[in-house]
Structure 1
């Protein structure tokens, strides 16, 4: 079922501060109060095991868990990097590609190792994002977005997080980690997923 468009506040189901900042910036034009779990009750944050087979599975599982825990609309995303030369890996395992606990540097190093010898024209990749918004027990929306690019042979740039330093964006002529926050928020997979969410809510 489709949730009501009248969402005055919501909780974002993440402890990732980089992701939280991006989502807050992207939702700012809607004048929605965006809360983190720590803003409400740091002692009772659900521990959601992201064991789904797809980004949709994980996003919806997280959003439902946080809605049930805090009883306010909950937004969750699951996102990751898909590399064509690796048959779509790391995919849903992007955050823990090099094992637990999640480590951006280790993940990037493993990705570079797996792509050794792969020529530039075969390093096509995309960031993909699924967003779930749950506003009631049986009301939710799923939305999707992607950002196309390819994987560099070494890290470039200091901004962003995750795989951003290795992800080259052809339309920008730079890596994702070389973009300002404002530039990234106009092209990112989360931006496109949120735009898809807006369109579905307004139908």
Structure 2
């Protein structure tokens, strides 16, 4: 089945293709579609709210099976006004690019010390108007990690905070760990199981 992943982020598209490899799905991204791409106001209170808003908007625009994901970033022990939640890229009303995100979050870690953080992820899949599937299950989300004030030299487009992310147990940047990231594989399994349960 051909399905649309409602993202223009090529890094996220490739990561999802990897996660769902083995399922009979052909996944395309928004950049592969012609026509106007709707601008979705991601003003939900949770990652699932935003995933649903995007998936429904893209389904109405393109009339194909489509899924969207959203994440929220949550810091342990930080004041509420410093919690990014679903606004990881939007700070004080401004949409940050990758470099600006690294600058903002590294300065936050300088202010508060290394931050214990966790992403909570959600997915919404619109097969058609009568069949909508969604989840914010724990197996879609990552493990806790530290966000630090000194960026790693490596960058991955679309994933700027990976440059600030440190594995809690080893104290190493994720980019410096030699073993396969078990957290990444666990999230892959969560998305795989979500789609596997749907009768496509």
Normalising by the smaller structure, the TM-score range is: 0.7 to 0.9
Q: Where do 1:188-199 residues align within 5 Å?
A: 188=184, 190-191=187-188, 193-198=190-195
| Alignment correspondent of 1:4 | none
Q: Tell me which of 161, 164, 167 is aligned to 1:166.
A: 164
Q: Distance in 1 between matches of 2:53 and 2:3?
A: 16
| Alignment correspondent of 2:91 | 97
Whether contact under 8 Å (1:167, 1:175) holds in the other structure is yes
Which segments of 5 or more consecutive residues in structure 2 lack a partner in the other structure? Answer: none
Q: Which has the higher helix share?
A: 1
| Alignment correspondent of 2:116 | 124
Q: Tell me which of 175, 181, 191 is aligned to 2:173.
A: 175
| Alignment correspondent of 2:141 | 146
Q: Where do 1:50-61 residues align within 5 Å?
A: 50-61=42-53
Q: Distance in 2 between matches of 1:50 and 1:99?
A: 12
**How many residues are aligned here?**
190
Shift of the alpha carbon at 1:196?
A: 5.0
1:35-78 C-alpha deviation (Å, 9 max, x unpaired): 1123232x221211111111111000101111111111111001
Shift of the alpha carbon at 1:135?
A: 0.5
Which segments of 5 or more consecutive residues in structure 1 lack a partner in the other structure? Answer: 1-7
Q: Tell me which of 8, 11, 14 is aligned to 1:21.
A: 14
Q: Tell me which of 36, 51, 70 is aligned to 1:44.
A: 36
Cα distance 1:175–1:198, how it changes in 2: closer, same or farther (>3 A)? farther
Q: Distance in 2 between matches of 1:86 and 1:25?
A: 34
TM-score, with structure 1 as normaliser: 0.79
